[in-house]
Structure 1
Amino acid sequence: MRLVAWLGATGAVGAVGTSAVAQTSCDKPVYLTIDTGHMGVAPLFAEVLKRQDVRVTFFAAAERTQTDGDSLDNHWAAWWKARAAEGNEFGSHTYDHVYWRGDEKSIEPRFRVRPTSGAFAGREFTWTAAQYCENITKAADRLAYVTGKKPLPIFRAPGGKTSPKLLAAAKACGYEHTGWSPAGFLGDELPSETFSNEKLLAQALDRIRPGDILLAHLGIWSRKDPWAPADLEPLIVGLKEKGFCFQTLRQHPDYRAWIAAHP
């Protein structure tokens, strides 16, 4: 997935408020969330998260992969199932990685959208609220199938691009939106020529605060120097050394009640 631009790093896109799984006591929680991508670094993510005993929340779409399929196909099913067994949580990222492009002027909610994955990638459509909800649910259903675990009743719109009407439509069909914190934009989608891994790591360790939701991806096609091999484990270790602990969005105070009410 590619965010619209550096706006995401400043929190202008998808920013959220404040906390979340495994620890008994967690005074300085952060919430690492991971969106799908080309999956080339997925094995590395799995190794690091297991080694560091960290649970995260994955947001998944059926995105094109380096294995000539998509990130929710049968090739990756065992990988997803293993992540569920480790205690991670899951949410929809819309099945076709569908960007909201604008609201239509109509009595009933209708939205201009553009999928970036699947058979209709790159084309623009006008969808009803029901069609948009169907695409959220399609990813959630596929996640439930490949993980054997029911996803959380939350979703993340690609690029964090939404409108009040879109959020209301999604909420009416059972999905609360989850963005990320301004300091939680880890920069793995940015060009490595101008945003080096060293710079992104230092920035994250300096800016992240308790309660922040962090955002990374399972592979970005456009970044020449991949972020995860250089920064993922140093970031986790560095945050732990500063007293932070990692939780999933199931424990986040902004979503706990919603999740409990939508089992």
Structure 2
Amino acid sequence: MRRASDWLLAGCLLVSAATVQADDCVKPVYLTLDTGHMGVAEQVAQVLRRQQVRVTFFAANERTQEGDGSLGVGPNAHWAAWWRARAAEGHAFASHTLNHTYWRADLPQPDGSVRFRVRASAGAQAGRDQIWDAARYCADIKAADTRLREITGVAPLPLYRAPGGKTSPALLAAAQACAGGGYLHVGWSAAGFLGDELPSDKFPNDLLLRQALRDIRPGDVLMAHLGIWSRQDPWAPAVLEPLIEGLKQRGFCFRTLRDHPDFRAWIAAHPSAEK
């Protein structure tokens, strides 16, 4: 008869083996989701729960189908409970600039500094070109970071994604040098562009799914949205779960950007953003 200590040891070994297996991620991919009109947000959340996949959300206060902002607060906090639920599930968060502000051009100044022509797609100045210095650009990144903290109670990562992925070396340097803690930019891999922004008549969902399953490689950063206004046949309801299942069948596993080798050192060096 086995002694109680033997059963205890066996149980510990099983728990240890299960932990090793859970952490044994040799083909990681990093799914990231940017805000949009939020029309598929709950469907996306359901898929992620079913598949037990954690992602990194890049959030801006964009206009939604409800007419409010995706990071609204106070009387416009329609999505606050949704964000809090994602935080409780262990997802990661990062800034997408509060007003979804696109870089359009560098404007070198006589004193050697650089200003930036930008255009926001949300907020009071939406659709208008503005000229910002580095501090003003940092403020827009920081504002989304702060809003995410207020809503979720979770510290965002010291990372950000410029809308459209549009940047310049000067803009990236400005973001990294932001006062109070800089932000490292995160783009996406070539195969990680999942195509949900493309017209569905030319790029149907089944084509996008096949391409992704064929081309994605370990270490890739994948990018899609929580709703794209211009796409007639929404991507997420048709593609997201088959994509996750197909990648799992090919031996891939999903991690947040906390674990990405290109960003781990930056995150560790900016602990204030993880408090």
TM-score normalized by the length of structure 2: 0.87
C-alpha separation in 2, matches of 1:23 and 1:248: 15
Match of 1:183, SS state, is coil
Bigger radius of gyration among the two? 2
Instruction: State the 1:187 CA deviation.
Output: 0.1
Aligned residue in 2 for 1:172: 177
**Amino acid across the alignment from 1:218:** L
Code of the residue aligned with 1:251 in structure 2: it is: D
> Which of 247, 255, 268 is 1:260 aligned to?
268
Question: Per the alignment, in what secondary structure is the counterpart of residue 79 of structure 2?
Answer: helix
1:181 to 179, 189, 207: 189
Aligned to 2:143: 138
Contact 1:60/1:72 (<8 A) preserved: yes
Tell me the alpha carbon deviations over residues 77-119 of structure 1, each in whole angstroms, 9 at most, x when there is no partner: 0100010110100000000000000100212221000001111
Which structure: greater helix fraction?
2
Q: 1:15-49: CA deviations, max 9, x gaps?
A: xxxxxxx9411000000000000000000011000
**Identical pairs, percent:** 68
> Which residue pairs with 1:249 in the alignment?
257
Provide the C-alpha distance between the structure 2 equivalents of 1:38 and 1:100, rounded to a whole number of angstroms: 21
Q: Which runs of 5+ in 1 are unaligned?
A: 1-21
Residue identity in the other structure for 2:83:
W
Q: How does 1:67-216 map to 2 (within 5 A)?
A: 67-73=66-72, 74-106=77-109, 107-173=112-178, 174-216=182-224
| 1:193 alignment partner AA | D
Aligned to 2:147, the other structure's residue is in SS state helix
Which of 220, 232, 245 is matched with 1:237 structurally? 245
| Counterpart secondary structure, 2:222 | strand
Distance in 2 (CA, whole Å) between partners of 1:156 and 1:202 is 26
CA distance in 2, matches of 1:126, 1:211: 36
Structure 2 gap ranges (5+): 1-20
* Letter in structure 2 aligned against 1:136: I
- Partner of 2:29, secondary structure, is strand
The aligned amino acid for 2:177 is A
SS in 2 for 1:63: coil
The alignment partner of 1:103 has SS state of strand
Instruction: After superposition, give the CA deviation of every residue in 1:206-236 in whole Å (9 maximum; x if it has no partner).
Output: 0000000000100000000000000000000
C-alpha deviation, 1:203, in angstroms:
0.3
CA deviations 1:228-255 (Å, max 9, x no partner) are 0000000000000000000000000000
Return the letter of the residue paired with 1:257. Answer: A
Supply the distance in 2 between the matched residues of 1:105 and 1:212 (Cα, whole angstroms). Answer: 34
Q: Give 1:14's aligned residue.
A: none
Q: Secondary structure at the match of 1:104?
A: strand
Q: Which residue number corresponds to residue 34 of structure 1?
A: 33
Q: List structure 1 runs of 4+ shifted beyond 2 angstroms.
A: none
CA RMSD of aligned residues (A): 0.9
